[in-house]
Amino acid sequence: MADCVFCRIVSGDLPGHLVLETDDLVAFLDTRPVFKGHVLLVPREHVETLPDLPAGLRDGFLAAAQRIATAVKDGLGAQGSFVAINNTVSQSVPHLHLHVVPRTKGDGLRGFFWPRTKYADGEESAYAERLRDALAQP
Active site includes 97?
Answer: yes
Question: Of 17, 38, 95, 97, which is the active-site residue?
Answer: 97
Sequential DSSP letters for 32-75: S-SSTT-EEEEESS---SGGGS-HHHHHHHHHHHHHHHHHHHHH
> Which stretch of 8-12, 74-78, 85-89, 112-116 has the lowest confidence by average pLDDT?
112-116
* Domain boundaries defined on the chain: 5-136
Domain 5-136 has CATH 3.30.428.10: yes
> Residue 116's pLDDT is what?
67
What pLDDT, on a 0 to 100 scale, did the predictor assign at position 8? 97
- Judged against a pLDDT cut of 70, whether residue 105 lies above it is answered with yes
Of the chain, the percentage scoring pLDDT greater than 90 comes to: 74
What pLDDT is stored for residue 110 in this prediction? 77
Can you tell me the mean pLDDT for 13-41?
94
Phi-psi region of 69 (alpha: psi -120 to 50; beta: other; left: phi over 0): alpha
Q: Give tens-digit pLDDT for 63-97.
A: 999 999 999 999 999 999 999 999 999 899 999 99
